[in-house]
Amino acid sequence: HKTRRGERGGAVNPVGDPLFEALRALRRDRAAGLGVPPYVVFHDSTLREMAERRPATLAEMGEIGGVGARKLEAHGEAFLELIQAY
């Protein structure tokens, strides 16, 4: 008997995925620096999609749900650098 999470697998819901955890840490640091809650930077669902799709350019990152022009400009480069390190 598989759990719901087990059926989905790690790619769709990467709990324990090192890249997803690193993205969450970067989001937490940037949010703290701005004095805002982490979800203001990006939602978890957006970070999951980043970890799954691993965008290589700002244009590719802009196609991810929850990444608007302002967030892309403010945070895109930092998150791209982190993704490329994995």
Tell me the pLDDT tens digit for each residue of 72-85.
999 999 999 999 99
Helix ranges (H only) for 1-86 are 4-8, 18-34, 38-41, 44-53, 58-62, 69-84
Is CATH 1.20.1290.10 the right assignment for the domain spanning 4-84? no
pLDDT > 90: percent of the chain = 81
Q: Can you give the pTM of this predicted structure?
A: 0.80
Q: Where are the domains of the chain?
A: 4-84
pLDDT of 71 > 90? The answer is: yes
Tens of pLDDT, residues 44-53? 999 999 999 9
43 Cβ partners below 8 Å, 6+ apart? 66
pLDDT of 13 > 90? The answer is: no
3-state secondary structure of 17: coil
d(CA 54, CA 35): 27
